[in-house]
Amino acid sequence: MKNLWRIMVGLGIIAFGLMTLYLSGSVIFDLFGMRAKQGNYVMFVIIANFICGFLYLIGGYKLLTRNLQAKKIFGYALLILLLTFIAFLIYVQMGGVHKTDTFKALGVRTTTTTIAYITTFYTLTINKKSSKKDI
């Protein structure tokens, strides 16, 4: 059951990473006139999402291949998102122009990353410790 969950989360996070790279990359590089369509986007949030997109791809692959570095990669992504969320709150408090959907998007992204981190911890770290005890 743990293996099935690990595989589902790994594939899901890879798909999420591809979607993230497409959407944030479209705004950063103004592909398909995406900047105009997005309206009041906050560029540092978009850049953080873009960086996390790469981390999702690498972390998802590492999770699928049972590599313990996945935990560290998802931890970095989580740290980036938490710092971005704090910076975004400060930006909003200072009167920065933004879309209210940005709060929801950061929440969904942070929750997804937390699930990937916990899954990695549970399926790889704990399994490794219990397999050592069995020997």
**Is 81 part of a structural domain of the chain?**
yes
Q: Residue 132: what pLDDT?
A: 52
Mean pLDDT of 3-23: 96
> 107, 121, 100: which is closest to 9 by C-alpha?
121
**Is 74 part of a structural domain of the chain?**
yes
> What pTM did the predictor assign?
0.90
Q: Residue 120: what pLDDT?
A: 93
- Please say whether the beta carbons of 57 and 14 come within 8 A: yes
Match 């942070």 to its residue by tokens: 110
For the chain, the domain total comes to: 1
CA distance 87 to 112: 20
**Is 8 part of a structural domain of the chain?**
yes
Tokens of 97: 């122009």
Mean pLDDT of the chain: 91
Q: Kindly report, residue by residue over 48-106, the tens digit of the pLDDT.
A: 999 999 999 999 999 999 999 999 999 999 999 999 999 999 999 999 999 989 999 99
* Domain span including residue 54: 2-128
Mean pLDDT of 92-121: 94
